[in-house]
Amino acid sequence: METSLQGFLSDHSRNRFDQASVRLQVSKIFDWYGEDFEQGHQGFTSLQTLFVKYAGLLTDANSARQRIAAGDHRLEFLDYDWSLNDLGK
């Protein structure tokens, strides 16, 4: 799971920090399953704790990683690309 999560968070087409708008833009999947990260699985108590741990995967900029760690950003859930479901057909 750890490797899959890291790979997913590293995909900047789905998860990224936009410095211009100071927004952490993440996949809609985190909106749908956000409560799962509040249950303490792997030590996460919220989406914020998840994003802080993996801030280095979400952005290369040190200033952006600091904003993520401080919670100094807006959280935006990106639209889900439903065409991905068709790839397996």
What is the rounded average pLDDT of the residues 10-32? 96
Which of 84, 5, 41 minimizes the C-alpha distance to 58? Answer: 5
pLDDT single digits (tens) 24-54: 999 999 999 988 888 877 788 999 999 999 9
pLDDT band at 2 (very low <50, low <70, confident <90, very high): confident
pLDDT single digits (tens) 44-83: 899 999 999 999 999 999 999 999 999 999 999 999 888 8
pTM for this entry: 0.86
- In sequence order, what are the residues at sequence separation of 6 or more whose Cβ sits closer than 8 angstroms to the Cβ of residue 57? 6, 9, 10, 15
